Amino acid sequence: MLITANEISTFLGGEVVGDPEVQVHAPSKIEEGKEGTISFLANPKYEPYAYSTEASILLVEKSFQPTQSISSTLIKVDDVYASIGLLLDKFKGAQDTSFQISSMAVISDSATFSDKVSIGEFTVIKEDVNIGDNTVIHAQVNIGRNCTIGQNCLIYPNVVIYPNAVIGNNCIIHAGAVIGSDGFGYSKDDAGKYTKIQHVGNVILEDDVEIGANTVIDRATMGSTIIRRGVKLDNLIQIAHNVELGEDTALAAQAGIAGSTKIGKGVMIGGQVGIAGHKEIADFVQIQGKSGVISSIKEVGKRLFGYPALDYKEFLRAFASMKKVPALIKRINALEKQLAEQKDQDKQENKSKE
C-alpha cells in the first residue's frame, strides 16, 4: 500500500509540515526508519533519532518544536500513540487476504458460517458451531461443539476452544491459548485420595476482548467464567474457574487469578501478580507487578504493591524504612559494645577504689 503524507494527515486529522505528496508503504521504528516508511516520536528520549532517521514521514505531537533540521516530512497530531494505532490498523487492513476455507480443515456439517469467513489448514470445527462474518481462523485451531464465535474475530494457530464457549465480536485470541479447560477442582477423602470435580459450565468472552498467547481460561464448575467487554490479557496468564473480569480490565504476563474471584472494571494488574480465590477487587484498582493479593479490596482506585499487597504509598514507606535496618542494627551493635565497655570500665574503677 502506498499512501501520501496528505492522505495520512487527512485520515488522522493532522497538519503536514514538509512535502504533502511524499509516499510511504510501511511503518518503521524511528531508530530504524528508511526511505518510504513512516515512523513516530512520542517519547522525548527518542528525540535525537528525529534528526537522524531516514523515515520519509514522522508523526509528532502538535507541540513539537525541532531544535535541528529534520529531513522527514512531519505530520503533527494531537495524540501520537492514538494516531499510530489507527495507522497500523490501516496498514494491517491493506494486507488482509480474501476469505478462504481450506480443503484440509475438518468441519462438521452442522457448523454454520457464511462465505465471509476464513478457516485454515487442519483446523477442526465440531458440531453446532456458529461463526460470524469477517472472522479469520488460522491453521490447527480446535473448536469444540456448540461454540459461538462472533463477527470480526481473529483466532491464531493452535488455539483450543472447548465446547459451549461463547466468543463475542471483535475478539483476538493468540496462538496456543486455551479457552474452557477444566478448572483445578478436586475433593479429598480421609485417605488423602483426590476425586475430580467435574466442570460443566463454560467460558464467555464479551466483545473487544484480546487473549494473549498461551493464556488459559478455565470453564466454570457451574455457570460461566466471564471475561467482560474490552478486557486485555497478556501472554501466559491463568484465569481459574468462575472468575469474572470487569470491563476494560488489563492483566500483564504471568498473572494468575484463583477461582470465583470477581475483578471490577478498569482494573490494571501487573506481571506475576497472584490473586487468591473467592475475593472481590473494586473498580479501577491498580496492582503492581509481583504483588500477592490475599484479601478483598473494597476501595475504588486503590493502588497496591508487595506481598502481601499493601497500599502503594504505605509499601514504599515500609520499603524505605526496611533499607535503613542494616545501618540501624549496626548502630545498635556499636551502642551495645560501647555500653559493655563502659560497664567493664566501671567495674575496674570500683575494684580500684576498694
Of the residues 25, 199, 241, 278, only one is catalytic, namely: 241
- Specify whether 241 is catalytic: yes
> Residues near 205 by Cβ (< 8 Å), separated by ≥ 6?
165, 166, 167, 168, 171, 179, 211, 217, 227, 231
Render the burial of 267-292: b for 16+ CB within 10 Å, e for the rest.
bbbbbebbbbeebebbbbbbbbebbe
List the alpha helices (DSSP H) in 220-303: none
Q: Which three cell numbers stand for residue 296?
A: 478483598
Q: Is the peptide bond before 163 cis (omega within 30 degrees of 0)?
A: no
Rounded-to-integer distance, Cα 338 and Cα 315, Å: 34
Q: Are 146 and 180 in contact (CB under 8 A)?
A: no
- The residues carrying an active-site annotation are 241
